[in-house]
Structure 1
Amino acid sequence: MVNKDRAPLVLVGVDGSDHAQAALEWAAAEAVRRDAPLRIVHALGMPLIVSAYGGPVRFEPSEEIQGQATEVLRDAVAHVAKVEPAARTETVTALEEAPLALLRQSHPHDLIVIGTRGLGTVKSLFVGSVSVRVAAHAPCPVAVVPSHEGKPATTGLKRIVIGVDGSPNGNRALGLAVDLAAQSEGELVVVHSWEVPYPYDPVALTAAGYRPQEDLFERQSEELVAGLLAEAIDQQRDDVDIDVTVVRTQNGPVNAILEAAEGADAIVVGSRGRGTVRGLLLGSVSQGVLHQSKIPVIVLPKHADEDE
């Protein structure tokens, strides 16, 4: 049972992989920035024993497995002390699988940090199953940090990119992005992409020199973003440096967000927006950004903060 009255934490899952080390470095820097403890979690994923005479229980780890877990956590703490000496660390060894372990440890005021893929994931997946499951179901924001093949992780939030679409979860994600930019005294880039919908043919319109409908769509897009920003800033901060990008695209919102994120430090997305594909744990846009981004992506799950 998680104590919801405790101070906020930054939680990071580690397993000894390069992906986890990149997440650990990013999480340590963010914990120092927030002046929050860094809780390092290592999940053993011990199998369940099911009995007809009682509830399921998990196998206890052998001395060898427990020793390996201790070594993983000890190495993680030593690495944090080297890259972020000011970080205050604590460690947890969990018997359950990594997604469940991280979800059980977290509450709405926390931040969970995970690598794009760790040990035991399917190589054919662009993003590991752990990161997708946690980002879809966490009660708090989740930062998914890509590996940089042994190079130090890029830390800091001086330039944050967010894609907006007017959906409720997207609007909440905008609020989170505004808050993060204000806390880090950084720049916020707000991206909204639009397409000329059927039955309008943009090629034929342009060839004919006739663009009233296209101008209308662009103006509506600009008004949508202005309204969303006015509400977000009014509710939170008015001291954020904001750059708005309204772009017509035939390649969809994922490419528009990724193009705007060149040189940025992080992307913020809601877990579900408009036009998502049924059956996905995450919406199609957030899933696409996670699959392709080379910088950390901060996901605000659909149900985050609802129990506050």
Structure 2
Amino acid sequence: MVNEDRTPRVVVGIDGSDNGQAALEWAAAEAERRGVPLRIVHALGMPLIVSAYGGPARFEPTEEIRGQATEVLRNAVEHVGRARPGVGTETVTALEEAPLALLRQCHPHDLLVVGTRGMGTVKAVFVGSVSVRVAAQAPCPVVVVPSHGGAPATTGLKRIVVGVDGSRNGRRALGLAVSLAAEAEGELVVVHSWEVPYPYDPVAMTAAGYQPQEDLFEKQSEELVAELLAEAIDEQRDDVDVDVTVVRTRNGPVNAVLEAAEGADAIVVGSRGRGTVRGLLLGSVSQGVLHHSAIPVVVLPRHADED
């Protein structure tokens, strides 16, 4: 059942794996910070039956399968109770596949948290993993939490990195990053990657006997970032005081964001910006960051509520 009462929640998908555990721990910490309930979802992925004489239906799980699901959820609730006793929990056992189950549990005011593997590896980005599918289609921000051999992921938000490119989704991602940094009283690192196009490429210009005009692109980058930051801060409902660091570089956008994220707690990206590849569930930059990031990545899907 979709969260129709508009009460904000943190929703997390678990499957009993180390990656699911990392997502659970991050989600519980964030629910505690926000003071909202934690909804824990375990999807069974029961086969779908289609009959010519009736609507589609799913196989009912056996008692053994239901028992395993109950055990997974009970362990999760007990873990949250020990680690974050102030967090209220509710559990859902869904018959559907994990992506559909998680999407049905989300509301625009929620935050959805998933692991990188277990329910579906993020390295399978071109064939549609759980994390990529929900990050592209959810009605709310999605956090993809990596796990390092079962070690818990960082749960703070003291240093947040966001990539900007001037696109509408990029602007919305920056707005979300400003909001998260302000709530956590943390530092915001804004990354803008710009390229010098031909014929202003330094090598080509030098070979042709001209001086490259890189200063022009540097200035344009500076002006764009300043405009985007002013816009994002102005759109906040409350006055915000965020410590902002700006990184402007000619490095490729994926590498630029990942390098700036060393030592950070989270990366914020839009689901699609400029320079995306047609046919991908997510934009090429978002996919690249998810594929290689060692820290949680917050994705703001293009379907997410504007609020």
Unaligned segments of structure 1, at least 5 residues: none
Aligned equivalents of 1:91, 1:206: Cα separation in 2: 64
Corresponding residue of 2:115 = 115
Task: State whether residues 46 and 59 of structure 2, in contact with CA within 8 Å, keep that contact through their aligned partners in structure 1.
Answer: yes
- Deviation, structure 1 residue 31: 0.3
Give the secondary-structure state (helix, strand or coil) at the position aligned to 2:113: strand
Query: What TM-score, normalized by structure 2, do the two folds share?
Result: 0.94
Give the secondary structure class of the aligned counterpart of 2:124: coil
Structure 2 SS opposite 1:166:
coil
Question: How far apart, CA to CA, are the structure 1 residues paired with 2:121 and 2:262?
Answer: 28
Q: For 1:230 and 1:247, how far apart are their aligned partners in 2?
A: 20
Partner of 1:244: 246
Q: Which residue of 2 aligns with 1:194?
A: 194
2:203 — aligned with what? 203
Q: Does 1:31 align with 2:31?
A: yes
1:154 aligns with 2:154: yes
Is the contact made by 2:125 and 2:132 (CA closer than 8 Å) also made in structure 1? no
- Which position in structure 2 is the counterpart of 1:22? 22
Q: For residues 118-157 of structure 1, what are the structure 2 equivalents within 5 Å?
A: 118-119=118-119, 121=120, 125=124, 129-157=129-157
Report which stretch shifted further, 85-94 or 38-47: 85-94
C-alpha distance in 1 between matches for 2:211 and 2:198: 16
The 3 A distance-change label for structure 1 pair 46 and 162 is: same
- Output the aligned Cα RMSD: 1.8
5+ residue gaps, structure 2: none
Distance in 2, matches of 1:83 and 1:206, equals 61
SS at 1:243's partner residue? strand
In 1: Cα distance, 2:87 partner to 2:25 partner: 10
Partner of 2:98: 98
Deviation by residue 1:107-130 (Cα, 9 ceiling, x = unmatched): 1000000000114x4696369700
Q: Deviations over 1:69-119 (max 9, x none)?
A: 000001111111222222211110001010001100101000000000114
The equivalent residue for 1:230 is 230
Match of 1:73 in 2: 73
Q: Deviations over 1:262-302 (max 9, x none)?
A: 00000000000001000100000000000000000000001
Counterpart position of 1:13 = 13
Please give the secondary structure, in 1, of the residue aligned with 2:42. Answer: strand
Q: TM-score scaled by structure 1?
A: 0.94
Q: How far 1:210 sits from its partner (Å)? A: 2.6
The change in CA–CA distance for 1:3 and 1:14 in structure 2 (over 3 A counts) is closer
Matched length: 303
Q: Alpha carbons of 1:41 and 1:82: their partners in 2 closer, same or farther (altered >3 Å)?
A: same
Measure the CA separation in 1 of the matches of 2:30 and 2:286: 22
Q: Which residue identity is paired with 1:98?
A: A
Please tell me the residue identity of whatever aligns with 2:34: R
Q: Distance in 1 between matches of 2:220 and 2:294?
A: 31
Q: Is residue 116–residue 122 contact of structure 2 (8 Å, CA) maintained in 1?
A: no
Deviation, structure 1 residue 202: 1.2
Q: Which residue is 2:271 aligned to?
A: 271
SS in 2 for 1:262: coil
**In 1: Cα distance, 2:145 partner to 2:121 partner:** 17
Paired amino acid for 1:247: T
Offset, 1:247: 1.1
Q: Could you list the per-position Cα deviations for residues 207-246 of structure 1 after superposition, in whole angstroms to 9, with x for gaps in the alignment? A: 86834x2100010011001001111101114311111111
Q: Which moved more, 1:63-72 or 1:1-10?
A: 1-10
CA–CA distance in structure 2, aligned partners of residues 210 and 94 of structure 1 = 63
The alpha-carbon deviation at position 153 of structure 1 amounts to 2.2
Equivalent in the alignment of 2:167: 167
SS in 1 for 2:57: strand
For 2:241, what is the secondary structure of its paired residue?
Answer: coil
CA contact (8 A) 2:261 2:267 kept: yes
Identical amino acids, percent of aligned pairs: 79
Amino acid at match of 1:125: A
Structure 1 residues 26 and 166: CA distance shift in structure 2, 3 A: same
Matched residue of 2:193: which SS? Answer: strand
Change (3 A) 1:154 1:130: same
